Structure 1
Amino acid sequence: METPTLLQQIADNWLLVWMGTFFIGVILWVLRPGSRTQYADTANIPFRNEDRPAPRKDADGVARDTKELQS
Structure 2
Amino acid sequence: METYTAMRHFADSWGLLAMTLFFLGVVFFIFRPGAKNAAAQASVIPLKED
Relative to the length of structure 1, the TM-score reads 0.50
Q: Kindly report the root-mean-square deviation, in angstroms, between the aligned alpha carbons of the 2 structures.
A: 2.1
Q: Residues 7-22 of structure 1 correspond to what in structure 2 (within 5 A)?
A: 8=6, 9=9, 11-12=10-11, 13-22=13-22
Aligned to 2:43: 43
Mapped to 1, the partners of 2:26 and 2:42 lie a distance apart of 18
Q: Aligned pair 1:32/2:32, yes or no?
A: yes
Structure exhibiting the larger radius of gyration computed from Cα positions: 1
Structure 2 counterpart of 1:28, one-letter code: F
Runs of 4+ residues over 2 Å off in structure 1? 46-49
The two structures have a TM-score, normalised by structure 2, of 0.66
Letter in 2 for 1:16: L
Gaps of 5+ in 2: none
Provide the aligned length of Structure 1 versus Structure 2: 45
5+ residue gaps, structure 1, are: 55-71
Q: Please identify which structure carries the higher helix content.
A: 2
